[in-house]
Amino acid sequence: MNEKASVRIRITGRVQMVGYRFFTQQWAEDLYLDGWVCNNPDGSVFTEVEGKKTTIEKLITELKQGPRIATVDELDVKWGPFMNRFRGFRIKH
């Protein structure tokens, strides 16, 4: 299945100051996904991703685990249509 999609994900838990954004970027780049990731003021991490739906699902599996020193409590995942809005994957500051 090569259907393309977009997804918005809010990750809660101990996900800041543990390399979570870098972890997300590395996986997204390895999976050839486009988008961005940032820290939220409330301590969560937020990411928007576009690409093949099956590949995004692989990313979501990795995000549930996070880097070794992170503790992921929950992923709030909202799927949407592919909009072709991004080129590459970056960390927003």
Please state the φ and ψ torsions of residue 21, each to the nearest 5 degrees: -65, -45
Is 25 exposed, middle or buried (CB count within 10 Å of its CB: 0-12, 13-18, 19+)? buried
The CATH number assigned to the domain holding 52 equals 3.30.70.100
The answer to whether residue 85 is catalytic is: no
- 44's enclosing H/E stretch is none
Instruction: Select which of 10, 39, 84, 90 is catalytic.
Output: 39
Instruction: Select which of 21, 40, 85, 87 is catalytic.
Output: 21
Domain that holds residue 9: 4-91
Into how many domains does the chain fold? 1
pTM as predicted: 0.95
For residue 53, count other CB atoms closer than 10 A to its CB: 15
pLDDT for 9-56, tens place per residue?
999 999 999 999 999 999 999 999 999 999 999 999 999 999 999 999
The answer to whether residue 90 is catalytic is: no
